[in-house]
Structures are given as structure tokens and as C-alpha cells.
Structure 1
Amino acid sequence: MIRLELTDQEWELLAPLIPRAATGRPRVSDRQVINGMVYKIRTGISWRDLPERYGPWQTVYTRFRRYALDGVFARALQQIQAGADATGDIDWLVQIDSTIVRAHQHAATTGPKRGHHRPDEPDDHALGRSRGGLTTKIHLACDGKGRPLAILVTPGQRNDSICARPLLERIRVPRTGPGRPRCRLDQVIADKAYSTRGFRAYLRKRGIGHTIPEKTDQQRHRHNRGRRGGRPPTFNRQIYRQRNVIGRCFNRLKAFRGIATRYEKTATSYEAAVTLASVLLWARSV
């Protein structure tokens, strides 16, 4: 069981990033509660089935939900990235891709609850119907060392190229000193799903180099237009060989059973779970 909990080194990194109540009655230890959250997403069990050593399951769930709505894990991820960027530990050869996650039947029982719908929660709860049934898609941007930089959760049928721009715009690594957060990337590596004129133009406008293979029909269309078709986009095969890094990042994320299968009812909670798993990947690499 110990392997499913935070190590002393991981907790030392994460503890300053967790908000603490200044007033009120004594509450369950923060480390005990965070360990319960990690155990839950690691095993994929129900909140009600959490072992008693983590305290009342209602406490763990309530605090997780509060952290999810307040963006606590997202800010913790950014702070860890900021520390890594300050020491030059981030490889800005960024890779983007997506993966499909099946939604459990417990995650599909969503719906409006007497007007309590939050404005920041999508109406579809990031649940879509594809050939595999109800699914959710995780769009991920990682650095050259296979560590998550930005996460976007959408319905499973959502096209990758549509989500590429909002995904990259979520990359904002704060500075440890004065200055604006870093949003500029050195290079972007992506597969053919992202080969669109609009996305290439967006990257050129931001001055970001990219290695994206051209689709066969795009090559044929450009060839048929002759001189009017323009020059083919540059493509570096040596750089593209590094695209397996993001596949390995997905494998590490899906080692968490609560990520590999979606059990959370709301998109906010599921994205918070993916973000917490990403924080752990960073904590184990810095």
C-alpha cells in the first residue's frame, strides 16, 4: 500500500502548494487527505471504498472537489514547472497528442441538478459518443523529457486539430522572479492529425518552429495545383523520431487506473485528477 502514497520527497515538494485553513476546528492532516486522493486515482476505486486510514471518505472527496473547482492542482503544476524552468530543466521541444479514455457507467450518470450547474463546467461534461461508446479525450502537451505542460479534456469525438490552439495557449510557465509567464515554445512536434493550414499559420505567426508530417491528400492537392500549390512544408525526420516521448508520457499517466478509465462524473473533477497525476510525474522527475 505504501507504494500508492506520496513519498517524503514528493510531499516536501507538494506541501507548500496546498492551501491551509487559517481558522476553524482542527481538520484531517493534509498529507493524509492527499494520500487518499492519490490512492483513489491510482486504483480507480469508489470514493466510498477508501480505506479508513485516510480519514472519512466524505472529507477526502469534499476537499478534492474544492481543490478541483479552485484550480489548486493546476496552480501546483505551474509552480513546479516554474521551478524546473528556472534551473533550465524544461526541454522546450514540445509534443502534442491525444488519447481516448472510456467512460465508466458511473461517469455517465450526469445531468442538470436543480440549477446548480457551474458556468465553468461544460454542458456535455466532456463526454462524447464514438464507436467505442461514451468516451473522453485527453489532449496533452509535454516537454522533451515527457512531462506534462498542459492538459485539455474534451468529448471523445472532438477533432485533434480543433483543440491544438487552445491546448498550446494553456502553456503558461510562471517566472520565479519578475516577468510574464513563458508561453513561447522552441518547437512543436505533432502527427498528421494536426496538419492543417490554420494551425501551421498560427505557429508561424507566433514564431514557433514545427515538425508535422503532411497528409497524403494535402500533398496530392498541392501537386495538382502546380506552381500555385506552393512549396511543401519543411519536415525533419530526425526530430520527428522523438515523438515517442509523448506516447510514453501517456503510458505513465494511464498507469493510474482512475485516469485510464474515467469514473468522475464532471469534467472538472476528471481534469483535476489528470492534473494531480501530472504533478506526481513532475515530482518524481525533479
Structure 2
Amino acid sequence: MGRGDLTDAEWERLRSFLLVSNRRCGRWRDHRQVTDGILHRVRTGVQWRDLPERFGPWKTVYERHRLWPRLGPGRPRVKPESLAADKAYSNGPVREYLRRRGIRHALPEKADGQAARLRKGSRGGRPPGFDEERYKKRNTVERTINRLKQSRAVATRYDKRLFVYLGTATAAAIVIWLRT
């Protein structure tokens, strides 16, 4: 077992979620070997053709990786319940859009916007609503994104096609799930 490969416990946890061969295209190569190859590539960001031979033919690993984002029917798009963002998104058009869609938000007011509103006096309007507790939870999302970016292939986005990159981000999320 190489550095970064799945442990036996992680493999047992993950095995039931993986696709099985449809037997029309012949037998599949060892699932664990190919999965370790995918995770090695996600962790190191190596080009597919430079994947070490211990993971099998690079083309086999790449083709199996391409299937990952297409595992299920997906979820229908739904309107988010709430949004938390930093001061960069605290402007009129963004707030208006969220209000129109009925999305609650936690956007802190910019200092210059607050000063301009106060300078106008009663014509400046009331201060926008701000839920400090919800804003503090934004940190959890940012930490998760930073953990995803610890995978070199996610941070640098070497993949040309969106669905391949989605598979790369999915693989990185699976590693986080398995190791927490």
C-alpha cells in the first residue's frame, strides 16, 4: 500500500457506493487498484499518462474516473434556503436579487456603504438586516473548500472538461468524508 492509498477500513466504507461492471465490456480491472489510482491523481495532480504503473493502465483509471460524476440521476435544482457571503457581495443589486427570490442572507454591510447611508440621514434608509450567528457559520464552508484545495488536482484544475473536473472534486470530497 502506497502513501495516500485507501486503508482497509476506508475501502470497506467506500466499496458499496462504487459502480459495478455491466459485463458487456468485459471484466473490470480491480476496483481498489483503480480507485487508488484516481485518488493518487487527485492528490498529486499528475497528468493521466504519467500515472504510476502500479495503478494499472492510465486509460483504464481515466475512463473509470469519468464515470464518477454520472453515478446517479442527480437532484433537482432547488432554491437555497439562505446565503452567507463576505462584504464583497454586499451591494444593492445582489441584495435586491436575493430579496426578489425570497432567499434569506447574511451579508455584512461595507463600511463605505454604511457611511454613505448615514451621511444621507433619513433619506439613507434603514440598515440592511444581518444575522451574525448565520454569518459565523460561513467559516465551516470556507474551511471545507480549503480542505478540497489541499488536493492538487482540485486547486489547479488541470482538467479541461467540466464533468471530469466534477469527478475530481467528487473524489476529493470522498477522501475528506472517508478520513473524518
Q: TM-score range by the shorter chain?
A: 0.7 to 0.9
Distance in 1 between residues matched to 2:134 and 2:23, nearest whole Å: 53
Give the alignment partner of residue 262 of structure 1, picking from 139, 143, 157: 157
1:6 counterpart residue number: 6
Describe the shift of the 1:181–1:50 C-alpha distance in structure 2 as closer, same or farther (beyond 3 A): same
Q: Which has the larger radius of gyration?
A: 2
Question: Cα deviations across residues 199-249 of structure 1 (Å, max 9, x unaligned)?
Answer: 334444555432211123432443344334321112244543443323322
Counterparts of 1:7 and 1:205, CA distance in 2 = 49
**Over residues 55-99 of structure 1, what are the superposed CA-to-partner deviations in whole Å (9 max), with x where a residue is unaligned?**
11111112223x15xx336x49x7xxxxxxxxxxxxxxxxxxxxx
1:51 corresponds to: 52
The alignment yields a C-alpha RMSD, in angstroms, of 3.0
Give the AA of the match of 1:214.
Answer: E
1:116-265 maps to which residues of 2 (within 5 A)? Answer: 184-185=80-81, 187-204=82-99, 207-265=102-160
Partner of 1:61: 62
* In 1, Cα distance between equivalents of 2:65 and 2:121: 58
**TM-score, length-scaled by structure 2:** 0.78
Task: Kindly state the Cα deviation for residue 259 of structure 1 after the two structures are TM-superposed.
Answer: 1.8
Q: Tell me how far 1:182 sits from its aligned partner.
A: 7.4
Equivalence for 2:18: 18
**Long gaps (5+) in structure 2:** none
- What is the CA-CA distance between 1:191 and the residue it aligns to? 0.4
Name the SS of the counterpart of 2:40 in structure 1: helix
Higher relative helix content: 2
Give the Cα separation in 1 of the matches to 2:135 and 2:77. Answer: 27
Deviation readout 1:38-59 (Å, 9 max, x if unpaired): 0111111121222222111111
The separation in 2 between residues aligned to 1:271 and 1:26, in whole angstroms, is 26
Note if contact 1:18-1:72 (Cα within 8 Å) is conserved in structure 2: no
* Distance in 1, Cα, partners of 2:40 & 2:15: 17
Are 2:171 and 1:284 aligned? Answer: no
Aligned residues: 179
Give 3-state SS (helix, strand or coil) of 1:17's partner: coil
The amino acid that maps onto 2:147 is: R
TM-score, length-scaled by structure 1: 0.53
Partner SS, residue 270 of structure 1: helix
Aligned amino acid, residue 281 of structure 1: I
Identity fraction in percent? 44
Name the SS of the counterpart of 1:188 in structure 2.
strand
Aligned equivalents of 2:125, 2:12: Cα separation in 1: 55
1:271 deviation in Å? 2.8
Aligned residue for 1:271? 166
Q: Distance in 1 between matches of 2:56 and 2:21?
A: 18
Assess, with a 3 A threshold, how the Cα gap between structure 1 residues 197 and 27 changes in structure 2: closer, same or farther.
Answer: same
Q: Considering fraction of residues, name the structure with more strand.
A: 1
CA distance in 1, matches of 2:30, 2:6: 13
The separation in 2 between residues aligned to 1:271 and 1:22, in whole angstroms, is 23
